[in-house]
Amino acid sequence: MASTETRAHPHTRNPGIPLDLDAVESITVNRSATERRAATLPGRRTVKKDWQAAWLLRAIQCIDLTTLSGDDTPGNVHRLCAKARNPVNTEILAKLGVDPITVGAVCVYHQYVEDCVRNLEGSGIPVAAVSTGFPAGLSPFRERIHEIKASVAAGASEIDIVITRAHVLKGDWQALYGEMQQFREACGEAHVKAILATGELGTLTNVARASVVCMQAGADFIKTSTGKEPVNATIPVGLVMTRMIRNYQQQTGWKVGFKPAGGIRTAKQSLDFLIMMKEELGDAWLSPSLFRLGASTLLSDIERQLEHFITGRYSAYNRHAMG
C-alpha cells in the first residue's frame, strides 16, 4: 500500500509571466457544460476495498490540517500538531501494512505560527499561515504585506493569501495582477497559495479569469475558498480551476498546485476531488507538492472509513482524537 512521501516541492516554482490581458479577457466558461462534466466525474472511477484505503491514505497526506476559529488556544493548536504528526491510529496502519504518514501541512492564523513551528520541529511538516487580512482581505495594503513578512519571519513556509474580490468583480485584472505580484514578493522563499473566495466572485468565468491572473503573477497554488463564504469548495469550481492550471502548464511549462478548501468533511468528498485531479491533471498532481485539501474535520471521517475497512464496523466520532 501507500508509504510516506516527501512534502518538498520537487518542481521549479512558478515564476509567473507578464500579464496577458487579451488571453484573460478571452476566457469564458459554459456553466451548464461544466456542471454536466462535474456530475459525471465521481462515477468515472470506482475506488473500492484496497484501492479505496490507498486513496484515502493519499488524501490524508494532502490535507492542510486547519484550525481558524476565534476560540483557538495554544492547547488546541498543540493537539492539532500532534494529530498532524500521527494522523492515523498506528494499529490501523500496521494492519494495512503501511509506514507512518503525516498530513501535508498545518494551517493556522499568524498568532500561532511560532507555536506550530515549535510543536512540529523535526517532523518535516510545513506550517501554513493565513494572511493578508484573512478572510475578507480588506485591511490596509501595507498591513497585509507586513502580515505576510511577519508570518514568514515566524517560520511559516507557506502563506495562504486572500485576493481583493473587488478587483475581480470590476474586471480590474491589472490591479489583481499587481497585488498578487507584491504578495508573492513579500513571501520570499515561502510558497504562496492564492485564495480566490470563489463563492463571492459571481460567475465561473470570473473564477477562471482570476485563476489565470494569479498564476501569471506567480502563485504557487490557487485555492478555492477561505472556508468562511456561504459557498466554498465545489466540484464545478474545482473543474474550472484545474483546467486553468492545465492550460497554464501547457502554455508556460510551469506547474501550479490546487487547494480546495471549505466544506470538505467526508471521505467521499476527498475521493471526488482526488478523482478530479487524476482525470484533469494526471498523477503528478496526486501529491502534496501540487494538491492540498483544506479541512478541519475531514480527517476524522477518513479514519472511520479506514477502521471500517479493517474491522467491518464504523466507530463513533468521539473515539478519534482532534482532527
CA distances from 310 to 52, 95, 101, 315 (A): 12, 7, 18, 11
Q: Is 223 a catalytic residue?
A: yes
Residue 300: C-alpha distances to residues 2, 87, 223, 264 (Å)? 19, 9, 22, 12
Helix, strand, or coil here: 192? strand
Q: Is 95 a catalytic residue?
A: no
- Of the candidates 223, 255, 272, 301, the residue annotated as catalytic is 223
Contact of 90 with 100, CB cutoff 8 Å: yes
Using an 8 Å Cβ cutoff, are 296 and 67 in contact?
A: yes
Which among 64, 160, 220, 272 is annotated as catalytic?
160
User: 170 catalytic, yes or no?
Assistant: no
The Cα-based distances of 296 to 198, 283, 299 in angstroms read 19, 25, 7
Contact criterion met (CB below 8 Å) for 275 and 42? yes
- Give 65's strand partners: 106, 295
DSSP classification of residue 133: S
Do the beta carbons of residue 128 and residue 221 sit within 8 Å? Answer: no
d(CA 214, CA 19): 10
| Catalytically annotated residue among 83, 193, 255, 259 | 259
Grid cell locating 228: 468562511
Catalytic residues: 160, 223, 259
